Each structure stands twice: as structure tokens, then as C-alpha cells.
Amino acid sequence: MTSALPWAYGEAGNAADLQQKLNSLFKITTTTANLSDIVTPGDVVEFHKDGMRLSALSTVLTESNTYKDGKIGGGAAKRAWGSFGTAMLQATTAGLDDSGATMVATGPPPRILATGDKCWILSITVLKDAVQFKLLTDPDDSGIRHRGDLKFPFPNKKQVPTADQILPTIAEAMTVVQAGDQGAEQAPSGPYAAVAGEYRNETLGTYILLPDGTCSIHNTNGTEVPGQFIVDGDWIRVDMIVRRTKIHLSDFKIQGDNLYLNGMIMPSTELVRQGGPPAPAPEQEAAPAPAPAARQYDALDAPPPPPAPAPVITIGERKAQVLTDFGEPQRKAANGPKEIFFYTDLKMKVTFVNGKVSSID
């Protein structure tokens, strides 16, 4: 319970340290912009208390909940869901049909979770008086996802707690049941599996695309960069991962079995697929009856070992170290104490002043 936390010890934290600690303990899930699909799975939490209220994605309101005195209670959105909330939703979504009559889309009511239900973690924020989790469910039996906020108030409103003081309270309401990992995405089907394979070009290097949406870029200078890709129609967008940050690298047009940089159909931009598409799985003579569809977070496998970290450049790093990690650039420019390396294969520009890195573009 909140009242049992060790405030008598006189320990106090600060918001920045608490935020950093929470970020290290919980892995955040990334989604599409409209929250309709999972892009990179993070941690899944299971509830130990009833009463968490969540709004359907199609509704205007977002349910806000607070955990206090061992119970999860609804906040402002819950109180507004009655006549006032309905009126507000109607005012937002009202329109006129061809006859001039008013038509209103009120949307589905909130979903109330029970003990044992699970959610993805979308974000964690240290507020001035509470820690707030933004949560998202998998689609329910009607195919509807729900979202909501859950706040854990500070035991002492005038003092930011340490992580050790707030974590037991969080654990009373919910705990992580399966951890995700950056880049360990759930294997999607469809276009991801269709384009998975190894593609080569003497100048561009080798791109290895995996069925789970991750990839690795092997440059001609011997360096390797981890990344992710998405398929949009007959285009593939490739992002490289540098210090857990996505950086857009290149776009390829799918043409037959090969990929073409920026859609330019010419040999110099062609990534040639090695070995053709993956072989289809053999058909089973007597397939068992299909099991009920598993929710996405139940289907997550244990993440594979992380790849070796890619070399990174930091401000103030010496030129010799950059050359060791990335090799000679494709172009150079110099003006007095200022020198610029252009790594065109990585779409990266490194500026040195007096032999040390001053900026990275």
C-alpha cells in the first residue's frame, strides 16, 4: 500500500533520475500513428487489480485512472462519460446527412479490465505529483483496441520519490509478464515475409531483410549496421538503428525479385536478390484444428541475443577513431582547421574542427 512506503528513511529522489530509472526498467512499445498496430513490441503488464477503464481508439475521450489505497479508480474521463461525456462526443462527431437531419457517432463504451488482463506500455511519464503509464490493449473479440492512462500518485505530494519507493506501489497494481526488446519484433506475415532475403550490390553493399521487419546493412568497407524496414506497396523504407535511434537510410522500389534505390531502374542502383524468395513451408497432410487466435503479447517468443553494437560517432571524438570505426569516407572537404568527411553509403556527414568531431549530419 502507498502508506507503507519508507518515507521515514528521509530518502528523496528527483524527477530526472526517476524517469531514467523507469525507462531502464520498462521497455516501451511503439505503434503505428493511429495506434491500430504494433510496430516494435515492448513490455506487457498483467493487472492484479480490477477496475482499469480504457477507451476504444475510435472515441474522443481517453480514460484516466488512478491507483490509490489499493484500488484503481476512474479519473476525469470516467466522470465525463455520462451525459456530459456523451454530449461532448456528440458535439465533436455530429454532422448532417443528405436530408439535413443530425447524425451522431457516439462510439463504444469504455472497457473495464479485470485481474489477469494485459496491456502494452506506450509511455511512462514522471509528472509533478505522479508517475503516469499510457497503456494499450490487443484487439478484443470485436477487433477493437482500447487505451487508457494509469497514474500512481507520489506518497508525499511535496516530494519526488525514488524508484525503490514507487515501484512496490506499481507492482501492487500490475507487473511485467513478458519483456520485449528493441528490434525483436513479432514476426509479421504478408509483405515482410515476401521480401525477406539477401540483396547485394557491389557499391551499395549487402542488405539482409528478415521476415520480422529487422535487417542488417553490410557496407563495402566491412562495417555492419542494424536496422528495420517497412513495406509500403511496392516500396521498402530502410532505417538504420544508431544508439537505439532510428535514422532513415534509403528507399527501394520492389521490381520483380530485386530492389532499386530510389526507384531508379539501372544496374548501379540494383540490389540483386540472392537465392530467390524463401521457400514456402511444406503442406501438412492432416492439419490439426486451428487453436483460438492468440493475442499478440501471448505470441511473443523470447528475443534473440542482441547483435553486436554498431560503431557510433560522438561529439569530440578524434578523427583517427572515426577512421578506425568507419574507414575512409567517399569524399572529403577541408577549410583551415575545419574538415568534412562525407560517407555517402551511410548518408552521413561528419565535421571535424582541429581534428575532433564537432557535428554529425
Pairing of strands 146-153, 63-68: parallel
Helix/strand/coil for 64: strand
**Contact assessment for residue 124 and residue 133, using Cβ atoms and an 8 Å cutoff:** yes
Cβ atoms within 10 Å, residue 75: 17
Which DSSP letter does residue 9 get?
G
pTM: 0.45
pLDDT tens, the chain, 361 aa long: 333 333 333 456 789 999 999 999 899 999 988 888 898 888 899 999 999 999 998 887 788 999 999 999 875 554 444 444 444 444 444 444 444 433 334 567 889 999 999 999 999 999 999 999 999 999 988 888 999 999 999 988 889 999 888 999 999 999 988 554 433 334 444 567 788 899 999 998 999 998 878 889 998 888 888 888 888 888 998 888 776 667 888 899 999 889 999 988 888 899 999 976 554 545 556 667 666 666 666 666 666 776 667 777 888 888 888 888 888 888 888 888 889 988 888 888 889 888 888 888 8
Burial label, 292 (beta-carbon count in 10 A; 0-12, 13-18, 19+): exposed
pLDDT number for residue 86? 43
**Contact assessment for residue 270 and residue 257, using Cβ atoms and an 8 Å cutoff:** no
**Contact assessment for residue 324 and residue 314, using Cβ atoms and an 8 Å cutoff:** no
Buried/exposed 307-344: b ≥16 CB within 10 Å, e otherwise: eeebeebeeebeeeebeeebeebeeeeeeeeebbbbbe
pLDDT number for residue 222? 86
pLDDT number for residue 84? 43
Give rounded-to-5 percent helix, strand, coil for the chain: 15, 35, 45
